[in-house]
Amino acid sequence: APVHSLDDLSSSRELFDAIVVPGGGLTSDGDAPEWVRERLNAALSLYETNAHAQFVLLSRGTPHKPPPVDLDGRPIDEATVSAEYLRERGVPATRLFQDTWSLDTIGNAVFLRIMHLEPRRLKRVAIITNKFHMGRVRTIFEWVLKANPRVVPFVTTYVEVPDVGLTPEQLAARVQKEAASLAKLQETTMQNFVTVDQIHAFVFEHHGAYATGIPRAPVSKELAASY
Cβ–Cβ under 8 Å, residues 110 and 57: no
Question: In the predicted model, what is the mean pLDDT of residues 123-131?
Answer: 98
Mean pLDDT computed over every residue of the chain: 95
Question: In the predicted model, what is the mean pLDDT of residues 169-173?
Answer: 94
Neighbour-count burial for 74-99, b at 16+ CB within 10 Å, e otherwise = eebbbbbbbbebbeeeebeeebbbbb
Cβ–Cβ under 8 Å, residues 70 and 138: no
Question: In the predicted model, what is the mean pLDDT of residues 182-196?
Answer: 95
**Within 10 A of 162 (CB to CB), how many other CB atoms are there?**
13
pLDDT tens digits, 190-199? 999 999 999 9
pLDDT tens digits, 129-144? 999 999 999 999 999 9
Q: How confident is the model at residue 11 (pLDDT cuts 50, 70, 90)?
A: confident
